[in-house]
Structure 1
């Protein structure tokens, strides 16, 4: 009587919507407590899914299906999970078959190669784009039957027979082909890391090109006019290349003809370069001294206060001064050359350029000329000996220097200038 009463109450409660025992919450269903989290999922095809079907995450039952309704030509599946279960925000819903007997379940999973993140709020509706249905056993068997009966599987014998005819007599060629394919696949497997690195590099290159899309488009627009200008200048480029070829041939011929002279000149420059290398350690001091000539750095550090100094210098490059100073020891020296006094000379303060300060001397009287006759004064005769213009006696040769060969006695030529003979 109790069972009949319970059944009557259930029928009265469900009314006309009763769809069997599965439409009622069965005892022992997971995730049916008052604190369970309830979610909705929109699924295009629920197959043989029934209420009270399990809800799984990683093949672990965490809840159950509450009810299913139709909404906009697709199923709205309401399911609940245990209160301590976290449903990620990027969850996807799949309707799968638990066993071959037809038992179905709802699987909650995240997309492939994507880690779960966040937590889905209770009452959230999972959209239809994130739902799918696995093939059922009935669909799999029907598809296989279609392939076997009406597909190409029935003609597999003909395919094998024709393939055997094609290989007949060509076993060696097919064996060689398989050997080559094995080597090719082995080579590809060996170069797998390089191929992956190349693909990644090409991906980075493509990304760079994609980032520079505007620049590349602008370049493609500007390059054709530039190419047109270059095309118009083609005769000039050809002429320039021809002239450059002529120049190259001339340089090659000149280098070939002057090779010996060039080698000799380089050999002659060796002593100069060697001497320059010998004084190399002193070049730094010389260059440093040239910036503040004639003062030394020590003098500047001790005597000059401030960041500048004034220098007044007089440089005498007159010929007498050079003969009296720089050219001493050469054939052009002249120690008694008449010098214009300069700073430091004893007679500098008594020397003047003003003709009014030189004094006036009366001319000497003319002897042997009658008074009243005006005659031009005769120029005085030149002195008997005006002195040599250049040294009369050549300087003594240095010790170890080769002796010069004197010319013959009757020779009229002389290596020394002056108004005297060879022996003078």
Structure 2
């Protein structure tokens, strides 16, 4: 085969191979030294507002470590208001990379003039999701961004240098030097005070945050009640108009109130001595009421049944009366009850002292057992009731009673009862009072 035929055959074979593999340019060919994707890489899509000059085969990095590569960059119509188009970057990454499904993606570059790459990072300002970033997941526009381009930095610098703010900065620096010259101590004092103030604010940061939150809640509450507040303000208009019409009367009332307060103050000043005297007198009354304690309410209960106790209705039961009466005639108690708490209370104490000075006579009266009357001394007409020596009389028998049945002076009949003693003898009451002694 001639050389020309050999080249034609090679060209035909290459064309068939390329057409069968879907060749899309040099950028579709894998580059040597690329990131290792493993056996089963996952495919992730990310939406960007601007991908700059990012191209397929660019590296995908996590913490500056290559974990994947870009496979496709395409343009897609968006649904967000104000953004009709946005770029969608499809990349493959290793399956063993652990990222939450709310991870962030950005376009960065390796150096000032280096290549672009996709930088993945954990979410910022929110908690990581429990679900991992998996195959066919989408990172939306809200979680993507890009870094500043060198062209943008140089453009901003040129704007600053050409008619920017450098001249103003020079003026500000010169004026600051003129203002601070000779005032070093004052400026240091101000800085110290500012430092103290900032430290106090930092110490009370929690309280300040709570106050701001409270103000925020108040603002929300006022916003919710905006209609009610507006209605109140509208309905307050007639009330304000009424106050305006009655302004003269209100002024007169306030002037009269001022005169009344002045007169009241004058009366209180003039009657201060009498008022204090009355209060001191009232203090004595209140002290005596306090001494009464719980006795006073109990005494007031008897007002409705005076002079009888509250239980007097239990005295008469049908056709009979049932009463137990305790009569206290002790002069000390009577004087205390009648004169206590009065100006004559000192007489009670004087009477007590007088009672201590008077000594009652010492009398001893024999006390016989209850129910037994004392024996009478022996004598004529006692019917042999026993002598004064305390011997027990011995009864005697008589031949026969007298016709009249009356006892004889020395008869042997039983002694008569005390109440039936002869008239010449002393009565039992007298004997009881004297103890049996003549």
| TM-score, with structure 1 as normaliser | 0.56
Query: 1:276, CA displacement in angstroms?
Result: 0.5
Q: Does 1:40 align with 2:50?
A: no
Q: Could you say if the C-alpha distance between residues 171 and 181 of structure 1 is closer, same or farther in structure 2, counting changes exceeding 3 Å? A: same
State how 1:370-409 maps to structure 2 within 5 Å: none
In structure 1, C-alpha distance between the alignment counterparts of 2:266 and 2:172, rounded to whole Å: 75
Q: Which of the residues 190, 208, 233 maps onto 1:198?
A: 208
Assess if the C-alpha contact under 8 Å between 1:42 and 1:75 holds in 2.
yes
Q: Which of the residues 118, 121, 133 maps onto 1:109?
A: 121
Q: What is aligned with 2:149?
A: 136
In structure 1, C-alpha distance between the alignment counterparts of 2:349 and 2:128, rounded to whole Å: 103
Q: What is aligned with 1:146?
A: 158
Q: Could you say if the C-alpha distance between residues 168 and 91 of structure 1 is closer, same or farther in structure 2, counting changes exceeding 3 Å? A: closer
Please give the per-residue CA displacement for 1:46-96, whole angstroms capped at 9, x wherever unaligned: 223233333234444443322222334432211123334444343332111
Q: Could you say if the C-alpha distance between residues 258 and 101 of structure 1 is closer, same or farther in structure 2, counting changes exceeding 3 Å? A: closer
In structure 1, C-alpha distance between the alignment counterparts of 2:142 and 2:21, rounded to whole Å: 33
Q: What is aligned with 2:436?
A: none
In structure 2, C-alpha distance between the alignment counterparts of 1:283 and 1:121, rounded to whole Å: 91
Greater Rg, structure 1 or structure 2?
Answer: 2
In structure 2, C-alpha distance between the alignment counterparts of 1:130 and 1:270, rounded to whole Å: 83
Q: What is aligned with 1:92?
A: 104
Q: What is aligned with 1:210?
A: 220
Query: 1:27, CA displacement in angstroms?
Result: 6.8
In structure 2, C-alpha distance between the alignment counterparts of 1:170 and 1:82, rounded to whole Å: 61
In structure 1, C-alpha distance between the alignment counterparts of 2:257 and 2:175, rounded to whole Å: 69
Please give the per-residue CA displacement for 1:125-148, whole angstroms capped at 9, x wherever unaligned: 3333432111234543x3366257
SS in 2 for 1:146: helix
Q: Does 1:254 align with 2:259?
A: no
Assess if the C-alpha contact under 8 Å between 1:30 and 1:54 holds in 2.
no
| TM-score, with structure 2 as normaliser | 0.54
In structure 1, C-alpha distance between the alignment counterparts of 2:117 and 2:279, rounded to whole Å: 96
In structure 2, C-alpha distance between the alignment counterparts of 1:278 and 1:217, rounded to whole Å: 63
In structure 2, C-alpha distance between the alignment counterparts of 1:165 and 1:258, rounded to whole Å: 71
Query: 1:201, CA displacement in angstroms?
Result: 0.8
Please give the per-residue CA displacement for 1:302-361, whole angstroms capped at 9, x wherever unaligned: x9xxxxxxxxxxxxxxxxxxxxxxxxx9xxxxxxxxxxxxxxxxxxxxxxxxxxxxxxxx
Q: Does 1:187 align with 2:193?
A: no
In structure 2, C-alpha distance between the alignment counterparts of 1:199 and 1:114, rounded to whole Å: 20
In structure 2, C-alpha distance between the alignment counterparts of 1:74 and 1:29, rounded to whole Å: 27
Q: Which of the residues 292, 317, 338 maps onto 1:279?
A: 292
Please give the per-residue CA displacement for 1:223-258, whole angstroms capped at 9, x wherever unaligned: 333322332332232222222222222222222232
In structure 2, C-alpha distance between the alignment counterparts of 1:88 and 1:191, rounded to whole Å: 40
In structure 2, C-alpha distance between the alignment counterparts of 1:123 and 1:254, rounded to whole Å: 94
In structure 2, C-alpha distance between the alignment counterparts of 1:227 and 1:148, rounded to whole Å: 58
Q: What is aligned with 1:223?
A: 236
Assess if the C-alpha contact under 8 Å between 1:41 and 1:126 holds in 2.
yes
Assess if the C-alpha contact under 8 Å between 1:32 and 1:63 holds in 2.
no
| Ranges in structure 1 where 5+ consecutive residues have no aligned partner | 304-328, 330-396, 402-424
SS in 1 for 2:248: helix
SS in 2 for 1:254: helix
Assess if the C-alpha contact under 8 Å between 1:31 and 1:81 holds in 2.
yes
Q: Does 1:29 align with 2:46?
A: no
Assess if the C-alpha contact under 8 Å between 2:45 and 2:89 holds in 1.
yes
Query: 1:111, CA displacement in angstroms?
Result: 4.8
Q: Could you say if the C-alpha distance between residues 145 and 236 of structure 1 is closer, same or farther in structure 2, counting changes exceeding 3 Å? A: closer
In structure 2, C-alpha distance between the alignment counterparts of 1:62 and 1:115, rounded to whole Å: 23
Assess if the C-alpha contact under 8 Å between 2:102 and 2:139 holds in 1.
no
SS in 2 for 1:238: helix
Q: What is aligned with 1:408?
A: none
